[in-house]
Chain A
Amino acid sequence: MNMSEDSNNNTTHFGFKTVNEAEKQQKVGEVFHSVAQKYDVMNDVMSAGMHRVWKRFAVDISGVKTGDKVLDIAGGSGDLSKLFSKKVGTNGSVVLTDINASMLAVGRDRMIDAGLNLPAAQCNAEQLPFADNSFDCVIVAFGLRNMTHKDIALREMQRVLRVGGRLLVLEFSKIWQPFEKLYDAYSFKLLPLMGKLIAKDATSYEYLAESIRMHPDQETLKQMMLDAGLGRVDYYNLSAGVVALHKGYKL
């Protein structure tokens, strides 16, 4: 069980605040409804374009080949689905999903604009509407930390993977210790300011910084993936640990 959640009292964390479990989903939903239209611009500004490099790396590491089936969970604006669709070709398939209708709409429209006819489904990662052993690769990028029950979501992702398939989790993580203070200053001072100036929403970006700090570190997430039934779990630290890419197999 994730330490940040307490199922006995049915409370969980929303950034640094403790809220009821039912409330978290709604609050996360409000955050993403609010930022959906400026999501890409903000990602580029906040990470100085690095989010594209991290996502590209995740796709490179996935080992996905022509004809594979890929599930993009919390796919938001569809960056990964777009990259994966080139890899799987016309014989394969990529399913774009997100719990948030606003984000999914942005992603679906972008796919159409790019000439890609990918299925897009609004669904909760804790209750995936797919059969067991359906996908060769499941990916969740910058989405796991917003999920109320990360352990349930990871088990669901493991369930829909076929044997030999892999789960990739790209998520903010624990930065290398010497950079911590600088990173804190950036996250808690500069990030909300950028959110205020660009997306006209400082609160959502305060939540972003807080939720990153509350997210499990590299080793804890690795253990959570092992507990969810995945095997041979490894991770890559990217940009000194600002982001980590975990990869695990269904054995």
Chain B
Amino acid sequence: MLKPLATRFLQHITNQNNWSREHLIDFAGKVVQFEIAFIKTNLVILEDGGLAIAAHTTSPEASIHVPPSLALRILSGDEAAKTQVKVEGNVHFATELSKVLQLMRWDVEEDLSHIIGDIAANKTVTGSKKVFAEAKKQTVNMAEMLAEFWQEEKPILAKKRHVVQFNTEVDTLRGDVARLEKRLEKLAKTHQESNSK
């Protein structure tokens, strides 16, 4: 039941974003594996440029892996997090598909308008967007406040500059140890040569 429903939904989104077909049609028949947080699914590009859940026996040409922590960062709008998404296999195909998927939008208002009418749909979607934006803002505020508390008041989290400083010191120490090793080797060699004479 899940496959038909998921495929129906994907087709619906593709129909709402018809421009995406011309970008994907060249990859018809190719399968990509998405592993986002705890969800793992294979998607196939259809002959009409649409998207569908892939069959059981197909092996993916590319894979896109987004761990839960990265998924949260992407959801919160962290642009830098997008560059850390792990893409394997046919990278050109996976990258094109990712780009298209990021630009695709579900026009919820249009769908709702068929059920409750245009005005009610507009009000519902606008209201939901406001609620969602406020909830997101409050969540980010709360996360920042907690981070600050755990860094300043009750330190259990390391500050970024402290981590950077620590890493620099470790690098310096590593270099010093390497130099000392070389020096000791050199001294040992000299000592050995003087003994043999």
A190: Cβ under 8 A from any B Cβ = no
Bound together, the chains give a CA A56 to CA B29 distance in angstroms of 20
Bound together, the chains give a CA A238 to CA B49 distance in angstroms of 23
Smallest Cβ distance from A2 to chain B, in angstroms? 20
Bound together, the chains give a CA A238 to CA B53 distance in angstroms of 12
Is B48 touching A53 in the complex (CB atoms < 8 A)?
no
Is B3 touching A238 in the complex (CB atoms < 8 A)?
yes
8 A Cβ contacts from A54-109 to B: 54, 56-57, 60-65
Among residues of B, the one whose C-beta sits closest to the C-beta of A236 is B55
8 A Cβ contacts from B21-68 to A: 28-29, 46-50, 52-58
Is A237 touching B46 in the complex (CB atoms < 8 A)?
no
Collect the chain A residues with CB atoms within 8 Å of residue B52's CB.
60-61
Q: A60-B4, A60-B7, A63-B28 are in contact. Are A234 and B48 (CB under 8 A)?
A: no
Say whether chain B's binding surface is mostly helix, strand, loop, or mixed. loop
Bound together, the chains give a CA A64 to CA B46 distance in angstroms of 9
Bound together, the chains give a CA A232 to CA B29 distance in angstroms of 9
Is B57 touching A235 in the complex (CB atoms < 8 A)?
yes
Bound together, the chains give a CA A119 to CA B135 distance in angstroms of 56
8 A Cβ contacts from A162-186 to B: 164, 166
8 A Cβ contacts from B1-24 to A: 1, 3-4, 7-8, 11
Is B56 touching A64 in the complex (CB atoms < 8 A)?
no
Collect the chain B residues with CB atoms within 8 Å of residue A236's CB.
3, 53, 55-56
CB-CB contacts of A213-251 with B at 8 A, as 1s and 0s?
A: 000000000100000000010111111000000010100
Is A64 touching B48 in the complex (CB atoms < 8 A)?
yes
Collect the chain A residues with CB atoms within 8 Å of residue B1's CB.
53, 239
Is B8 touching A234 in the complex (CB atoms < 8 A)?
no
Is B4 touching A54 in the complex (CB atoms < 8 A)?
yes
8 A Cβ contacts from B137-177 to A: none
Bound together, the chains give a CA A239 to CA B1 distance in angstroms of 6
Interface size on A, residues (CB 8 A): 22
Collect the chain B residues with CB atoms within 8 Å of residue A238's CB.
3-4
Bound together, the chains give a CA A26 to CA B148 distance in angstroms of 81
Is A63 touching B4 in the complex (CB atoms < 8 A)?
no
Among residues of B, the one whose C-beta sits closest to the C-beta of A52 is B4
Q: A53-B1, A166-B47 are in contact. Are A60 and B8 (CB under 8 A)?
A: yes
Is A237 touching B48 in the complex (CB atoms < 8 A)?
no
Bound together, the chains give a CA A235 to CA B56 distance in angstroms of 6
Most buried by B among A63, A64, A235: A63
Q: A64-B48, A65-B48 are in contact. Are A234 and B58 (CB under 8 A)?
A: yes
Among residues of B, the one whose C-beta sits closest to the C-beta of A166 is B47
Collect the chain B residues with CB atoms within 8 Å of residue A232's CB.
29
Smallest Cβ distance from B34 to chain A, in angstroms? 18
Bound together, the chains give a CA A232 to CA B52 distance in angstroms of 16
Is A57 touching B58 in the complex (CB atoms < 8 A)?
no
Bound together, the chains give a CA A234 to CA B54 distance in angstroms of 9
Q: Which of B8, B50, B58 contacts A63 (CB 8 A)?
A: B50
8 A Cβ contacts from B64-95 to A: none
Collect the chain A residues with CB atoms within 8 Å of residue B50's CB.
60, 63
Among residues of A, the one whose C-beta sits closest to the C-beta of B29 is A232
Q: Which of B4, B47, B54, B58 contacts A65 (CB 8 A)?
A: B47
Besides the known contacts A53-B1, A57-B7, 15 further A-B residue pairs in the complex with CB atoms under 8 A apart: A53-B4, A56-B8, A57-B4, A57-B8, A60-B11, A60-B50, A62-B46, A62-B47, A63-B47, A222-B57, A234-B54, A234-B56, A236-B53, A236-B56, A249-B29
Interface pairs A-B: 6 shortest CB-CB: A63-B47, A234-B55, A63-B46, A65-B48, A57-B4, A63-B48
Please report B residues at the A interface, Cβ cutoff 8 Å. Answer: 1, 3-4, 7-8, 11, 28-29, 46-50, 52-58
Please report A residues at the B interface, Cβ cutoff 8 Å. Answer: 53-54, 56-57, 60-65, 164, 166, 222, 232, 234-239, 247, 249
* Cβ contacts A to B, 28 pairs, < 8 Å: A53-B1, A56-B8, A57-B4, A57-B7, A57-B8, A60-B4, A61-B7, A61-B46, A62-B47, A63-B28, A63-B46, A63-B47, A63-B48, A64-B47, A65-B47, A65-B48, A65-B49, A166-B47, A222-B57, A232-B29, A234-B54, A234-B55, A235-B57, A236-B3, A236-B56, A238-B3, A238-B4, A239-B1
